[in-house]
Chains A and B, each alone.
Chain A
Amino acid sequence: MSDKPKVAFYWCASCGGCEETVVDLNEDVLKVVGAVDIVLWPVALDFKRKDIEAMADGEIAVSFINGAVRLSEQEDWVKLLRQKSGLVVAFGSCAHLGGIPGLGNVTTRELIFQRKYIAVPTVDNPAQVFPTVAVTADGHELELPSFYDTVKTLDQTIPVDYYLPGCPPPSDLVWNAVAAILEGKLPEKGSVLAPNKALCDTCSRNQTKPEKLAIKEFQRVATGTPDPEECFLARGYICLGPATRSGCGERCISANMPCRGCFGPPDGVVDQGAKMLSAIASIIDSSDAQEIEGIVNTIADPLGTFYRFALPSSLLGRTRIGG
């Protein structure tokens, strides 16, 4: 019987990028594998649900769970893992904040159905057939699972001990977190395992920021070309640096594309989108109500931009259903 701590990786409404970032540890992944006993990792190993069900409560030292929660099956799985685990780490933006699948909170199951089964140009569905929860086909009574209208973060579903931010978390952050866990050197529960600074603080373009940012018209990368070294905001390209936690190494910035906030906000910020809204408003160069409105109209999609990764975790959480 192995003395090594048991570790599980699981994915909910996710894309698999968080799995890939672990594989991107490259040779170091072998060190991890050597130090722990991986008991669940569907992308790479053949352990099944019954193997987890057979374990004792708390038998798994750490479960790393990525992906947002929007199916009851995902809720079942994370509750099972919470029960069987000592620690649960919300791994990646989706588990932490809702992530890109969290943008699903601008719509509903009903509207998705309408688009996919009727309106899409390639669908051939003259009888207007919709998947339904209970139907008889060829003499078989079949059931379809239903799914939630609203995407939830992991900590809206189960208690979470730590957060590893990022879409995906960079491999070096993952390595540091695993090392900290194995050595028992973790900060207080509830912490995000990344520096507590805003991106602007560590960004190389910070020095090019003028004393005062003043924008008369916001720009879009579709129709403009950012300078490869200048602060994006200085030119009116919306960059979520001011409202985003540092720790990613400014990878997008280095490719000359502005930040979209995947690390979530620094400590103490409850609603990343609202903070970003505030930051952008503060650089509008006008004191005239009408002119301000005109400048605001050059911002293409406030909700989708300020809340790109954090919609489910935000105060409002989703767009309004019904009325």
Chain B
Amino acid sequence: MSEGSFEPRIIGFLCRWCSYPGADLAGTSRIKYPPNMIPIRVMCSGRVDPAFVIKALADGADGVLIAGCHPPSDCHYQSGNIKAMRRYPLLLKTLEQFGVEKERVRLEWISASESGKFAQVVKEMRETIKQLGPLKWGKGAGE
């Protein structure tokens, strides 16, 4: 696969109260953004167990987005987003030790009205990960 034709597969864990509606709004507003992200709606960014991110990467994703409500006060459950915030640097540090570049996993705060931001983030992730190349974890990572 030539570098030019590689299209990253990005899994997006989007919170039900802010980021997922924000993504929807991008759609209804006909904002163009690349189709590389597969959205998964979670109730809160705090619901995203680090194992979800790791599993996504292990099962073939080239990148993962976690998106939630703006701290400190937008989270529907008060502090779910703070929990996500606490996990993120430790997750990145661990993934780096595994050889997964930290640019592949991104934590963003996207409100229900920030459709433009959502589109921008997806575009940026696609470009960055295209540069990094495919992760191809399951294939040839072992033997």
- Indicate if the CB atoms of A302 and B94 lie closer than 8 Å: yes
Q: For the complex formed, measure the closest distance between the CB of B135 and the CB atoms of chain A, giving whole angstroms.
A: 8
**Closest A residue to B135 using CB positions:** A320
* Cα–Cα, bound, A321→B99 (Å): 8
Give chain A residues whose Cβ lies under 8 Å from the Cβ of B97: 106, 301-304, 319
* Cα–Cα, bound, A319→B141 (Å): 8
- Count contacts on B: residues with CB < 8 A to the other chain: 31
- B76-95 interface mask toward A, CB cutoff 8 Å, 1 = contact, 0 = none? 00010011011111110110
* Cα–Cα, bound, A174→B41 (Å): 45
- Indicate if the CB atoms of A149 and B137 lie closer than 8 Å: no
Q: Assuming the A-B contacts A275-B51, A303-B98, are A292 and B141 also in contact, with contact meaning beta carbons closer than 8 angstroms in the complex?
A: no
- Indicate if the CB atoms of A303 and B94 lie closer than 8 Å: yes
* Cα–Cα, bound, A282→B49 (Å): 11
User: Within 8 Å of chain B (Cβ to Cβ): is A134?
Assistant: no
Interface segment, A8-16, A28-36, A283-291? A283-291
User: Within 8 Å of chain B (Cβ to Cβ): is A120?
Assistant: no
In the complex, how many residue pairs between chain A and chain B have their CB atoms under 8 Å apart? 94
Give chain A residues whose Cβ lies under 8 Å from the Cβ of B83: 281-282
- Indicate if the CB atoms of B141 and A287 lie closer than 8 Å: no
Give chain A residues whose Cβ lies under 8 Å from the Cβ of B141: 317-318, 320-321
Give chain B residues whose Cβ lies under 8 Å from the Cβ of A316: 54, 57-58, 98, 100, 137
- A285-323 interface mask toward B, CB cutoff 8 Å, 1 = contact, 0 = none? 011010011001001011110100000001111111111
- Indicate if the CB atoms of B58 and A317 lie closer than 8 Å: yes
Give chain A residues whose Cβ lies under 8 Å from the Cβ of B30: none
Interface segment, A76-84, A93-101, A186-194, A266-274? A266-274
Give chain A residues whose Cβ lies under 8 Å from the Cβ of B90: 277, 280-281, 284, 296, 299, 302
- Indicate if the CB atoms of A320 and B91 lie closer than 8 Å: no
User: Within 8 Å of chain A (Cβ to Cβ): is B34?
Assistant: no
* Cα–Cα, bound, A304→B133 (Å): 26
Q: For the complex formed, measure the closest distance between the CB of A46 and the CB atoms of chain B, giving whole angstroms.
A: 35
User: Within 8 Å of chain B (Cβ to Cβ): is A113?
Assistant: no
* Cα–Cα, bound, A316→B99 (Å): 10
Question: Which are the 3 A-B pairs with shortest beta-carbon distances?
Answer: A320-B99, A303-B97, A274-B51
- Identify 15 new A-B residue pairs, CB closer than 8 A, beyond the known A150-B142, A323-B133: A271-B51, A274-B49, A277-B90, A281-B83, A281-B91, A292-B86, A292-B88, A292-B89, A301-B97, A303-B98, A315-B54, A316-B98, A319-B97, A320-B137, A320-B141
By a beta-carbon cutoff of 8 Å, the part of chain A in contact with chain B is 106, 148-150, 270-271, 273-275, 277-278, 280-282, 284, 286-287, 289, 292-293, 296, 299, 301-304, 306, 314-323
By a beta-carbon cutoff of 8 Å, the part of chain B in contact with chain A is 49-51, 54-55, 57-58, 71-72, 79, 82-83, 85-91, 93-94, 97-100, 133, 137, 140-143
Q: Could you jot down 27 A-B contacts, CB within 8 Å?
A: A106-B97, A149-B142, A150-B143, A270-B51, A270-B55, A274-B49, A274-B51, A277-B50, A277-B90, A278-B49, A281-B50, A281-B86, A281-B87, A292-B89, A301-B97, A302-B94, A303-B98, A315-B51, A315-B54, A316-B54, A316-B57, A316-B98, A318-B142, A319-B99, A320-B141, A321-B140, A323-B99
